[in-house]
Structure 1
Amino acid sequence: MNDVTLDAAAAVPTPARQSQFRLIAACSIGNALEMYDFTVYSFFAILIGRLFFPSDSPYGSLLLAVATFGIGFVMRPLGGLVIGSYADRRGRKAAMTLTIALMVVGTLCIAFAPTYTQAGVAGSLVLLAGRLLQGFSLGGEIGASTSMLMESGPATQRGFRVSWQLGSQGISALLGALTGALLYATLTPAALENWGWRLPFLGGLLIAPVGLYIRSKLDETHEAEPDAPSPLGTLMREHGSKVVKGILAVTAGTVGMYLVVFFMPTYMIRVLKMPPSLSLLSGCATGITMLIASLVSGRLADRLTRRKPLVMAALVFNLLAVVPAFWLMTRFPSVPLVLLLSVILTAASNLGSTPMLLVLMEMLPISVRASGLSVIYSVGVTVFGGSSQFIVTWLIAKTGNPLAPALYMLACGFVTLLAVWSIRERRIS
């Protein structure tokens, strides 16, 4: 049976097929939990830097904090290789159960890590271990869960289902920002430093049992033949060039998300000199925007004959807008203006993200789809997205140029534009 036939078969509802609501919730909840933790970590990066990485330089502590944030991404390619291959061999459901269990362990490490004052370097290492586990799990989560969203249900609603994978990140960013804003507004600085910053991580763990339960009730969408060759071997031999193009194609989107959504609160505090409580509104605004723009782009992707033009249009808009947007922020720093410009950049980026995911998955056969998307996304996020906060923080510290985030996003945008242009779109019915 060829891959196109398998794709079509996977999209045909069976009598036991789960409801669309349960499917979306089960596939999105793991990514949402991970993004929530990432959001909270980003918003508390300055405080975490002081507690776990004391330094004479304020930028020194922040650099070490965002480096720890970024080092979790180092494990993503390994997680993508291991768990992505597992999803193509044993099924999406088994891989998704594994990833959410690993996420829980990683979050527990962060929530209960002793500070540098309490345990010295050992406390910093516990925090680091939590980030590494989170990175490993998310490396395989994206490929398995997004593939299941694509393969379950009719092809005419494929974009809408997949859009919730990105929309859940918006919900997570919103919840993380609201939690951070609430804690900053209600707790004293001493209480926040002593124990308050741990509460968001502990709160995120409450959803994990729900995620494990509903994932256990899912119907599998892909089971490999017993004598099927190694998914990774097939992926690299037959689809290596597609993987490379895919990695470059996700560069702009992942850099934009981690700088505009997750780094912006730190940028507002450190560079624009705004109070922490107000800067956290950036996460709320961009979180809502991510959710709405992702769902709209999903609906558009289901209606368009070709999806690449929408991706290209979003990329071109961001290339034209990013430098003027950051120039306006630094020239006329105010909360309303920063929020407005962040929303515009986030909306434009996410309008192209769902169709981009569909283009990437549809260019890969079902037998290597989870592996392929896991490798593409995890390597792209690691090399470009995960390092972006560290790079722009270093650039700002060294050059004093507040436009460093915009210039980095501009360079990555050109790379992605060329990569997307070179990809041949393949529509699977």
Structure 2
Amino acid sequence: MSGARALTRHDAKVLGLSALGGALEFYDFIIFVFFASVIGPLFFPPDMPEWLVLIQTFGIFAAGYLVRPLGGIVMAHFGDRVGRKRMFALSVFLMSVATLGMACLPTYDHIGLAAPVLLILLRMLQGAAIGGEVPGAWTFVSEHVPAHRVGMACGFLCSGLSLGILLGSLIAAGINWVFTEQQVSDYAWRIPFFLGGIFGLISVYLRRFLSETPVFTAMQQDPRLQDKLPLKTVLRDHRHGVVISVLLTWVLSAGVVVTTLMTSTFLEKIYHYTALQALLGTSFGTLFMLVATVIGGMLVDRVGSGRFFLVGGLVFAATTFSFYSFAGVSLPVMFALYALMGLGVGLVGGVPYVMVRAFPAPVRFSGLSFSYNVAYAVLGGLTPVVVTTLVAVNPLAPGWYLLFIGALSCGLGLYLMHHSERVEGEIGLDTAPRR
């Protein structure tokens, strides 16, 4: 492991700008889901049943996940070959263009079936952009900060992504507060998308001030460390790292998609809260998750990944199942349980600690991106459709699903306690294959 130096002012700048940029881009990606119940009737035929509109709307949300592997793998390839920083900026630019396009998109009443088709295409462009953002950010900061601070740094980035969700829920709540239901349906739903496009362009500008990582700079100076086909090397030599990263991404995707992005809709449809109450509840819970992901990253640095995921999985299971079991009791109870669930979901702050160590530097971006995006496409993308469908059978379906995810986290913790040396290597120029 590299020397235990303290965080410098430059490290703090990298963390701050990376987390802020990630927050703005993630806001662009998730604002869609906070207006799912409004967007659905506007972009689908009016005679469709409400439950089918909701499923198809979340299906469009899932489309953004399904295209993530392609965008993520392409950007990761060039990130490993020509530089982390360039791909870091490109992902934000693509996201901004897609989000502004959504803000201007005509509805079904104006262009018929072309409306949902264009919506899907723009959502896919967003997915391609976000596919390079998260793995790129984890790679970027892990190669800047001291190795013994990687958990904290990546947890801070996860907190930045949570901030994007918080911004989205607060702005959505503000729209529902200022405008009437009819005004939101007529035009006000477009405002958050306009804001998201502007936020994205600001993020592109901010990332101009970031420098390339020292690890990639060293790789450029030694041609032997540059892999011509990083993904081929990942699939040949690092399959074990891919499997662990896929399972960890499943834990992360469930923690984000179900407990924040979908729950405001569940609070309306299942527990009969108003849109404003549901969005404020989501904002409140996300605020606690924002803090908890940083704490989670700091803890995994200190106690190691095995014990962290074993204990964290138990806390995650208990807090999430309690929320979905008792959220309908009253508004104060819902807020209190959402705060506890937000703390439990802080478990996801420790996920990148393992993933950035699972692949050596020359193929790190590609290994991370492939594992993360394929898992998110299949598991994160299908989760909204599956859970929404199961809710029609059992209203407690989100709680049972997250109880299983908590058990999966505990299992991963037990495995890492005994086999972490097969997964976690050094952050620096470790080129030896891990089998």
TM-score by length of 2: 0.89
Whether 1:341 aligns to 2:337 is: yes
The alignment-based identity, stated in percent, is 29
Whether 1:237 aligns to 2:264 is: no
1:210 CA displacement? 2.7
1:321 CA displacement? 4.2
Once residues 19 and 121 of structure 2 are traced to their aligned partners in structure 1, the CA distance between those partners, rounded to angstroms, is 24
1:369 CA displacement? 1.1
Once residues 301 and 65 of structure 1 are traced to their aligned partners in structure 2, the CA distance between those partners, rounded to angstroms, is 37
**Aligned counterpart in structure 2 of residue 383 of structure 1, from 361, 368, 378:** 378
Task: Show the counterpart of 2:311.
Answer: 313
Letter in 1 for 2:277: L
**1:12/1:152 contact within 8 Å kept:** no
Q: Deviations over 1:210-264 (max 9, x none)?
A: 3222322322111445463311011110001220121012212211221111111
Task: Show the counterpart of 2:165.
Answer: 173
The 3-state SS of whatever aligns with 1:131 is: helix
Once residues 104 and 353 of structure 1 are traced to their aligned partners in structure 2, the CA distance between those partners, rounded to angstroms, is 26
Aligned length: 414
1:18 CA displacement? 7.4
1:268 CA displacement? 0.7
Letter in 1 for 2:312: A
Task: Show the counterpart of 1:84.
Answer: 76
Letter in 2 for 1:140: G
Task: Show the counterpart of 1:36.
Answer: 27
1:320 CA displacement? 3.8
Q: Deviations over 1:163-195 (max 9, x none)?
A: 221111221122111111111111122221111
Query: Which 4+ stretches in 1 moved above 6 angstroms?
Result: none
Task: Show the counterpart of 2:361.
Answer: 366
Once residues 120 and 326 of structure 1 are traced to their aligned partners in structure 2, the CA distance between those partners, rounded to angstroms, is 38
Question: Cα–Cα, structure 1 residues 79 and 182, in superposed 2: closer, same or farther, change >3 Å?
Answer: same
**Aligned counterpart in structure 2 of residue 131 of structure 1, from 123, 134, 155:** 123
Task: Show the counterpart of 2:156.
Answer: 164
The 3-state SS of whatever aligns with 2:388 is: helix
1:35 CA displacement? 2.2
1:417 CA displacement? 3.4
Q: Deviations over 1:330-370 (max 9, x none)?
A: 4x2x22222222222221121x2222211111122111111
**2:64/2:125 contact within 8 Å kept:** yes
Once residues 94 and 408 of structure 1 are traced to their aligned partners in structure 2, the CA distance between those partners, rounded to angstroms, is 38
Alignment of 1:38-117 (within 5 A): 38-54=29-45, 55-117=47-109
Once residues 164 and 198 of structure 2 are traced to their aligned partners in structure 1, the CA distance between those partners, rounded to angstroms, is 14
Question: Comparing 214-223 with 253-262, which one deviates more in the overlay?
Answer: 214-223
Once residues 34 and 390 of structure 1 are traced to their aligned partners in structure 2, the CA distance between those partners, rounded to angstroms, is 23
**1:159/1:355 contact within 8 Å kept:** yes
Once residues 217 and 322 of structure 1 are traced to their aligned partners in structure 2, the CA distance between those partners, rounded to angstroms, is 39
**1:76/1:382 contact within 8 Å kept:** yes
**1:179/1:200 contact within 8 Å kept:** yes
Once residues 322 and 278 of structure 1 are traced to their aligned partners in structure 2, the CA distance between those partners, rounded to angstroms, is 19
1:305 CA displacement? 4.7
1:73 CA displacement? 0.2
**2:288/2:342 contact within 8 Å kept:** yes
Letter in 1 for 2:34: F
1:75 CA displacement? 0.7
Letter in 2 for 1:19: H
Q: Deviations over 1:32-63 (max 9, x none)?
A: 22321343211111001111123431111111
The 3-state SS of whatever aligns with 1:19 is: helix
Which segments of 5 or more consecutive residues in structure 1 lack a partner in the other structure? none
Letter in 2 for 1:383: V
TM-score by length of 1: 0.90
**2:292/2:349 contact within 8 Å kept:** no
Once residues 246 and 162 of structure 1 are traced to their aligned partners in structure 2, the CA distance between those partners, rounded to angstroms, is 15
1:117 CA displacement? 0.6
**2:92/2:129 contact within 8 Å kept:** yes
**1:308/1:356 contact within 8 Å kept:** no
Task: Show the counterpart of 1:326.
Answer: 324
**2:155/2:297 contact within 8 Å kept:** yes
Letter in 2 for 1:392: V
1:416 CA displacement? 4.0
1:326 CA displacement? 1.7
The 3-state SS of whatever aligns with 1:411 is: helix
**1:249/1:420 contact within 8 Å kept:** no
Which segments of 5 or more consecutive residues in structure 2 lack a partner in the other structure? 428-435
Task: Show the counterpart of 1:412.
Answer: 405
Once residues 294 and 259 of structure 1 are traced to their aligned partners in structure 2, the CA distance between those partners, rounded to angstroms, is 16
Question: Cα–Cα, structure 1 residues 387 and 136, in superposed 2: closer, same or farther, change >3 Å?
Answer: same
Q: Deviations over 1:96-150 (max 9, x none)?
A: 1111111112112211111111111112122111110111111111111111111
Once residues 273 and 66 of structure 1 are traced to their aligned partners in structure 2, the CA distance between those partners, rounded to angstroms, is 19
Letter in 1 for 2:261: F
**2:71/2:132 contact within 8 Å kept:** yes
